[in-house]
Amino acid sequence: MAGLRGRKNYVQAAVDALNAGDYSTPIQPCGTALQRKILRALEKLRVTTLEQQIAHARAIEQNKLAIASVAHDVKTPLALISGYAECLQDGMDDKDYLALITEKTEQLNGLVLKLVETSKHEIDEIDSLKEKVDTRMFLGAVLDKFESLARAKNISYKVRRIPSVEIYADRRELERVFQNLISNAVKYTEEGGKITVSFEHNGKFFIAKVKDTGRGIEKKNLPYVFDKFFMEESSRTDSKNSGLGLYVAQQIAHRHGGEIRVRSKKGKGSVFSVRIPELPDETTPTQRFEKYPMLLKIILILMFCFIMPWLLRIIRFFETRRVGTLITGICNFVLWPFMFLYDIWSEILYNRIVLAMD
């Protein structure tokens, strides 16, 4: 028993060390074969936990740096507001100090909103409500909202034909992505410019492209456009720009299993591509046929007589393995004049071919 207890101590000591919070000391495999296996698993757990702790510590450090950066930026507008107020108290009127105070107050408000937006994004890391979304129906309604925004600046705004593709998405978050991309396109495109939204899909990804003829982005800055608080203008004088829009949009795309890519040339414009995974098409050939308009299906039946309905029934049999479907397929082949009229009547009455005897 004493020898057995001695052999158990290897595992017990490792577990006690982990419980005590010691993740820095490597666990060496020793003892029996079973004990070595357990100790290797504990070592893997220790390394994983340590990596998570390091990543968490880095995230905290990044947030501290971001907050420190904003706190530093707050000092400048506060000092200027204080100085302008003193000038008003002294009766100086060489400048419009009230307008300057208003401007700096707006800049200060933008910095505060930056902190609020960052905190909100960290909370939003919780899984959002996702559902099946048809891209044509959803984006058709969303993209129409921005036409007036572009028209107000005399910018041509065109949305190409949206393909009907099913994706798994949070409607609110996805709308936020397009709101950010298109409002940015309008903001950085001069009057008389052009914004085009086009689409592609390849069975794996649904891709929406927002193209503008705006000022573009310098090549050296392209790798950083999705970084938190990044703004191409180093002066940060635009109080309405927090440097978080593209960062948040990219995080939303990542949470949907996709990404946003950018191509741009200074002075020529930019193209932002949103890539979201498509849901696999699980409809069968016969189900796809049934989605056709009734008139088209009747025309196809008239053109191909019994061949198409017979072929559909045979395909349906391999999909369902129902004997009744196979029987109707054989009947369609042998008694095709009768079945031909039966299928036409079925389409007119039910808007579907009765593929099985049910």
Full DSSP string of 55-69: HHHHHHHHHHHHHHH
Q: Which helix (H) or strand (E) holds 345?
A: helix 336-350
- pLDDT of 211 > 90? The answer is yes
**Which residues make Cβ contacts (< 8 Å) with residue 355, sequence separation at least 6?**
286, 312, 313, 316, 325, 328
**Domain boundary at 123, 146, 165, which?**
123
Q: How far apart are CA 45 and CA 212, in angstroms?
A: 49
Q: How far apart are CA 253 and CA 259, in angstroms?
A: 5
Confidence of residue 234 (pLDDT cuts 50, 70, 90): very low
**Which residues make Cβ contacts (< 8 Å) with residue 191, sequence separation at least 6?**
153, 154, 155
- Does 138 lie in the same domain as 158? yes
- Among 184-193, 252-261, 295-304, the minimum mean pLDDT is found in 295-304
Domain enclosing residue 200, as ranges: 131-277
Name the more confident of 83 and 181. Answer: 181
The two structure tokens encoding residue 300: 């196809």
- pLDDT of 347 > 60? The answer is yes
**Which residues make Cβ contacts (< 8 Å) with residue 230, sequence separation at least 6?**
221, 224, 243, 246, 247
pLDDT value for 159: 94
Determine, yes or no, domain membership for 180. Answer: yes
Radius of gyration of the chain (CA): 32
- Does 157 lie in the same domain as 66? no
Mean pLDDT over 177-192 rounds to: 91
- pLDDT of 217 > 70? The answer is yes
- Among 56-65, 242-251, 277-286, the minimum mean pLDDT is found in 56-65
Mean pLDDT over 53-71 rounds to: 66
- Does 90 lie in the same domain as 189? no
- Does 307 lie in the same domain as 237? no
- Does 248 lie in the same domain as 141? yes
User: In this structure, are residues 75 and 68 in contact, taking their beta carbons and an 8 Å threshold?
Assistant: no
- pLDDT of 149 > 60? The answer is yes
- Does 252 lie in the same domain as 138? yes
Confidence of residue 1 (pLDDT cuts 50, 70, 90): very low
Determine, yes or no, domain membership for 355. Answer: no
- Does 170 lie in the same domain as 106? no
Q: How far apart are CA 323 and CA 343, in angstroms?
A: 19
- pLDDT of 46 > 70? The answer is yes
**Domain boundary at 277, 312, 339, which?**
277
Determine, yes or no, domain membership for 178. Answer: yes
Determine, yes or no, domain membership for 307. Answer: yes
Number of domains the chain is built from? 3
Give 202-207's long-range contacts (Cβ < 8 A, gap of 24+).
Answer: 203/278, 203/281, 204/277, 204/278, 205/258, 205/275, 205/276, 205/277, 205/278, 206/135, 206/163, 206/165, 206/167, 206/275, 206/276, 206/277, 206/278, 207/273, 207/274, 207/275, 207/276
Q: Mean pLDDT of all residues in the chain?
A: 76
Q: How far apart are CA 173 and CA 222, in angstroms?
A: 24
User: What percent of the chain clears pLDDT 90, i.e. is strictly above it?
Assistant: 20
- Does 299 lie in the same domain as 197? no
Name the more confident of 355 and 186. Answer: 186
Name the more confident of 66 and 219. Answer: 219
Name the more confident of 74 and 227. Answer: 227
Determine, yes or no, domain membership for 357. Answer: no
- pLDDT of 240 > 60? The answer is no
Q: How far apart are CA 149 and CA 218, in angstroms?
A: 26
pLDDT value for 236: 36
**Amino acid making up residue 247:** Y
Q: How many helices (H) and strands (E) does the chain have?
A: 12, 7
- Does 318 lie in the same domain as 257? no
Measured torsion, CA atoms of residues 77, 80, 84, 89, in degrees rounded to the nearest 10: 100
The two structure tokens encoding residue 357: 């005897």
Q: How far apart are CA 279 and CA 287, in angstroms?
A: 17
- pLDDT of 193 > 70? The answer is yes
Q: What is the CATH number of the domain that holds 213?
A: 3.30.565.10
Determine, yes or no, domain membership for 14. Answer: yes
Mean pLDDT over 43-57 rounds to: 72
**Domain boundary at 222, 245, 277, which?**
277
Determine, yes or no, domain membership for 358. Answer: no
pTM: 0.50
Pairing of strands 166-169, 194-201: unpaired
Determine, yes or no, domain membership for 65. Answer: yes
- Does 135 lie in the same domain as 116? no
- Does 152 lie in the same domain as 96? no
Confidence of residue 56 (pLDDT cuts 50, 70, 90): low
Cα 85 from chain centre: 46
- Does 329 lie in the same domain as 232? no
